[in-house]
Structures are given as C-alpha cells and as structure tokens.
Amino acid sequence: MAKEAAKVMRGEPKLTERPGGMRATDGAHRSTVTLTDNSSGRSYEFPLQQATVGPPVFDIRKLYNETGMFTFDPAFMSTASCESKITYIDGEEGILLYRGYPIEDLAERSSFLEVAYLLLHGELPSKAEFTDFNTKITRHTMIHEQLTQLFRGFRRDAHPMAVLVGVVGAMSAFYPGESAGAAHASARLSNIHRLIAKIPTIAAMAFKYSVGQPFMYPRNDLSFAGNFLHMVFAVPAEEYKVNPVLERALDDIFILHADHEQNASTSTVRLAGSSGANPFACIAAGIACLWGPAHGGANEAVLNMLEEIGNKKRIPEFIARAKDKDDPFRLMGFGHRVYKNFDPRAQVLRKRAHEVLDELGMRGEPLLELAQELERIALEDEYFVERKLYPNVDFYSGIILRAMGFPSSMFTALFAVARSVGWCAQWAEMIADPLQKIGRPRQLYTGSAKRPYVPITARED
C-alpha cells in the first residue's frame, strides 16, 4: 500500500487489474503518456502499451524522430526490448510463469519435454501431440558422426562451455539449407527439434572427452533426463541403471532453467537472430553469454565459494565478510537480481536437494554439510532475512549436481541444456514477429568532439 501511495504522490499512473490486461488510471482512463521538455516547454504524447499482467510500458519507438533525443538506460534496467507471450516474472512477489502456468505446478506435475512443448507452442500438449513431440526429439538426439571429430581439436582440459559454443556453432555447417531466419516455419521447427535434442548429447560428449572416456550414444528408451544421465555416467564395460530420484531432480532442474524472460543470454539470442543469422549460430551466441559467472556460471561459483570457505568452522569469518560493505567478498547463491523475495525455483530445488542427499546417503559429505550450514544461517540470520538474501536456485542446483557426481565445470553446460528450449522459443517468437527489425541499441557519446588530424611529424612528444 505504501508503495502504491508513493507512486500516486509522484504523479505516476495507478495500476489496477482488469480482465484481459492492466489499465493506467489517474482518476480517468489514460492511453498515452505525456513527456514535457522543461527547457523548451514542448510536450510529446506517447502510447501506453498494456500488459496482460504487470506494469504497462511507454511506447517510445518514435521518441528520436519527434524529440531528437534518446533515452539512457544502462543494462536496459527499465526498457522492454520486445513483446513476448512466453514467460512472466514478478520479482517482488516471487512469481515465475511459463505461458501463464506457475513454475511450482509445472515442476511438481509436469516433465521437461512437456514444458518444452508448452514454451514452444503456447499450450500444454494433448496426449497425441506429446507422443509425436517426444518421438521427434528422441529421434534427433544422435549427432552427425563428423561432428564427433571436432572434439579432438579441443584441449582435454577445455571448459565444457567452450566446447558447446564451438560444436553448436558448427552445426550450422551441417544444416545450411534450412537455417536462415526467413525459412519456412516447418523448417524452423525442425531446427528447433534438432537443437533441443542434440545439445544434451554434445554436452555429455564434452564431459566424456574431458575425462578420457568413450562417448556414450543416446538411448531412445530413456527419458530426456534419464538419457542425459546415461550419456554422462555410463561406461561400455558396465550396465548403468538410472536412479529415479536423481532423474526426477535433474528433470526439475531442466524445467526450472528452461526460460527466464529477457535475461542476458536470451537477449543475446534475440539480438543475433534479429540480423537473420543462422539459428545454430544464435544459440551458440546465447551459450557464450550464459558462460559468464554473473549469469549461468553462478552455480559453479557457489561450489568454488564453498571450497574457499573449506569447513564449517570458518563460516562465521565469511559471514562477517559478507556483511562488511567494504569487503569485496560475496556469498554466492544468495539473493537474486530479479527476485526481491524467495526465488520460486529455489523452493522446488530445496526439496529435491534434500531428497537427493538422502537417496545417496551424502548428508555427511563435508562440502555438502558446509552448504547446509550456510543454508541454515541464511534462513535464520536477521541480516539475511531482513534483506531477503535467501538461497537461490543456483545454490540448490549446485548442491544437487555436486551430489550427483557432476564436476562444477559441467554446471553451466547443464544450464545450457535446459535453456536451449527457452532460447529456441524466444528466437521463433522473434522471427515470426512481422514488426521485428534488426536490433540497434543507441548510446550516450561522451568522447572527443570532431577534431583535425595532426600528422605524426607535427605531434609533440
């Protein structure tokens, strides 16, 4: 209430919910926003675009033409770069919706491939539609045998994300005839199926290559998550049985990471795709962006932080450092840039983390004990609770993946396996938008003004 009152005091439109969308009201309905230039006294009207849920946006596409000015919004913190029907986030309330469905419901009752269909097509599939989609993905999991030769060009200690960027980008050379953004919708969908199906195979091969083990080819009789576990952990000399508890936890990790609105990597995919670039190249660009420790690498950073702390006796020292504003140390895996409340994905994975630790009998493993003690402190310490610095999805996914046996270098690669679905859905939505133009952010130039060139012989030393 206080926040809404503050908006009214600032003269901002009050947001009220209505069937089919939101409207801006300030005593009366308004469909435009007035911008006044105080230096000249001129006023300009801009349309107010309504959202289904969430705040409306000022449509400033004609801002430069009408005013001769740009907006300045570093990191696009207050700018909607596109219109989308795929994912909605309310960070204040801790809400994440895929096509309108709460993430908690999907993680509890659905499967990753069903969620993939939902993100791509906008609706949950019928039984027949799901069977057809599952078959198409399953039969695309093999990769061209020549692609396997690319792995030999990487060092054995190459990061799996470096391998993913290279091999996924190289797929554009294997499907060049159907790759252009202007291709027929059916051709685009075929490439989406290829990407969703083959990226897990490539990620698993990247792991196998790093440890010197033979590649394990995909199996059509296993689930999406079960097949990935088999490709990563099975060896030819032994029979590998997929643990259903681990399979369920991994499937949930994939669901929870499938899409997350216009984050850095998704925006990268859209920006690359706006030029009409090959879709495999666009996804490779998204993988490269995801690799950053501030984005997809956060769960890997959690494990690195736990190893730095070392044991539970040192926790108070690092907690004190985290509270010291002059200390650069940060507790990785706590709080979230978008969620100002509990990360809804973390609530799901917290349950799965405890199930996995119990299933594997790993409650006493030192690093995981350390993680659980940090979790306890974050949920009880007044400093963290007041600031809502709760454990986020990266914290719990790191614990789960570590317990399963994945090295921390593979964490971001698993993130890419899941997010490939969201990237493909966002790319397809962008390509189908008739108003889409090539992305071209503007800038606030603060360099030198025009100046004359001075020959090197005339310049002072």
Residue with tokens 């889409």: 436
φ, ψ for residue 298, nearest 5 deg: -65, -40
Please give the Cα distance from 196 to 432 (Å, whole number). Answer: 19
In the set 193, 230, 260, 336, the catalytic residue is 336
Is 26 among the catalytic positions? no
- DSSP for 389-439? --B-HHHHHHHHHHHHT--GGGHHHHHHHHHHHHHHHHHHHHHH-TT----
Q: Among candidates 273, 259, 206, 153, which has minimal Cα distance to 407?
A: 206
Q: At what angle do helices 185-211 and 127-138 cross, to 10 degrees?
A: 50
- The answer to whether 336 is a known catalytic residue is yes
Name 335's Cβ contacts closer than 8 Å, sequence gap at least 6.
387, 388, 389, 390, 392
Q: Which residues of 349-371 are buried (b: 16+ CB within 10 A; e: fewer)?
A: bbebbeebbeebebeeeebbebb
Catalytic residue (one of 251, 252, 259, 394): 394
CA-wise closest residue to 213 among 183, 234, 182: 234
Q: Is the dihedral of CA 399, 400, 403, 405 positive or negative?
A: negative
Q: What is the DSSP string of 153-219?
A: GS-TT--HHHHHHHHHHHGGGTSGGG-STTS-HHHHHHHHHHHHHHHHHHHHHHHHHHHTPPP----
Rg (CA), the chain: 25
What separation in angstroms does the CA of 226 have from each of 206, 233, 257, 442?
18, 11, 17, 46
Report the run of H or E that residue 96 belongs to, with start and end. strand 95-98
- Euclidean distance between CA atoms 286 and 416, whole angstroms: 9
Active site amino acids: 336, 394
